[in-house]
Amino acid sequence: MTQPLLSLWINGQSQASQSQRAADIFNPATGEVIRRAPLADKPDVDRAVAAARAAYPGWRDTTPLRRARILMQFRELLQAHREELVGLITEEHGKTHEDAAGSLQRGIEVVEFATGVPHLLKGEQAEDVGRGVDCHSLLQPVGVCTGITPFNFPVMVPLWMFPVAIACGNTFILKPSEKVPSASLRMAELFHEAGLPPGVFNVISGDKEAVDALLAHPQVQAVSFVGSTPVARYIYETGARQGKRVQALGGAKNHAIVMPDADLDFAANALTGAAYGSAGERCMAISTVVAVGAAGDALVEELRDRASRLNVGAGDEKDVDMGPLITGAHRDRVRKLIDSGAAQKAKLVLDGRQHPVVEKSRGFYLGPTLFDHVKPEMTIYQEEIFGPVLIVLRAANLDEAIALVNANPYGNGTAIFTSSGAHARRFERDIEVGMVGVNVPIPVPMAFFSFGGWKASLFGDLHVHGMEGVYFYTRSKVVTSRWPTGHKEDPSSLSMPTLG
Ligand code: NAD
Predicted confidence (pLDDT) per residue in 82-113, tens digit:
999 999 999 999 999 999 999 999 999 999 99
Residues 428 and 468 in one domain: no
Say if 190 falls within a structural domain.
yes
Q: Which atom of ligand 1 is nearest to the CA of 451?
A: 40
Provide the pLDDT for residue 386: 98
CA distance 66 to 387: 43
Provide the pLDDT for residue 489: 60
Say if 484 falls within a structural domain.
no
Residues 266 and 130 in one domain: no
How many angstroms is it from 361 CA to the middle of ligand 1? Answer: 27
- The C-alpha angle 290, 284, 98, rounded to 5 degrees, equals 120
Provide the pLDDT for residue 2: 83
User: Domain holding 198: CATH number?
Assistant: 3.40.605.10
497 — pLDDT class (breaks 50, 70, 90): confident
Residues 408 and 390 in one domain: yes
User: Domain holding 293: CATH number?
Assistant: 3.40.309.10
Q: What is the pLDDT of residues 230-245, one digit of tens each?
A: 999 999 999 999 999 9
Say if 446 falls within a structural domain.
no
Say if 451 falls within a structural domain.
no
Question: Is residue 60 predicted with pLDDT exceeding 70?
Answer: yes
Say if 498 falls within a structural domain.
no
Which residues does a 6 A CB cutoff place in the pocket of ligand 1?
148-153, 157, 175, 177-178, 207-208, 211, 226-228, 231, 234, 249-252, 283, 384, 386, 412, 453, 457
- Amino acid identity of residue 452, one-letter, is G
The conformational region for residue 67 under phi > 0 = left, psi -120 to 50 = alpha, else beta, is alpha
272 — pLDDT class (breaks 50, 70, 90): very high
Residues 268 and 211 in one domain: no
Residues 297 and 320 in one domain: yes
Residues 15 and 153 in one domain: yes
* pTM, full prediction: 0.97
Domain count for the chain = 2
Say if 428 falls within a structural domain.
yes
Residues 258 and 315 in one domain: yes
How many angstroms is it from 229 CA to the middle of ligand 1? Answer: 8
Residues 174 and 156 in one domain: yes
Residue 163: name the closest of 434, 444, 466 by CA: 466
283 carries an active-site annotation: yes
Residues 261 and 208 in one domain: no
How many angstroms is it from 300 CA to the middle of ligand 1? Answer: 31
CA distance 452 to 446: 12
Q: What is the mean pLDDT of the chain?
A: 97
Pairing state of beta strands 22-27 and 13-15?
unpaired
Q: What is the pLDDT of residues 3-58, one digit of tens each?
A: 999 999 999 999 999 999 999 999 999 999 999 999 999 999 999 999 999 999 99
254 in helix, strand or coil?
strand
Q: Which atom of ligand 1 is nearest to the CA of 386?
A: 31
Question: Is residue 268 predicted with pLDDT exceeding 80?
Answer: yes
Say if 142 falls within a structural domain.
yes
In which domain, by residue range, is 119 found? 8-250+457-479
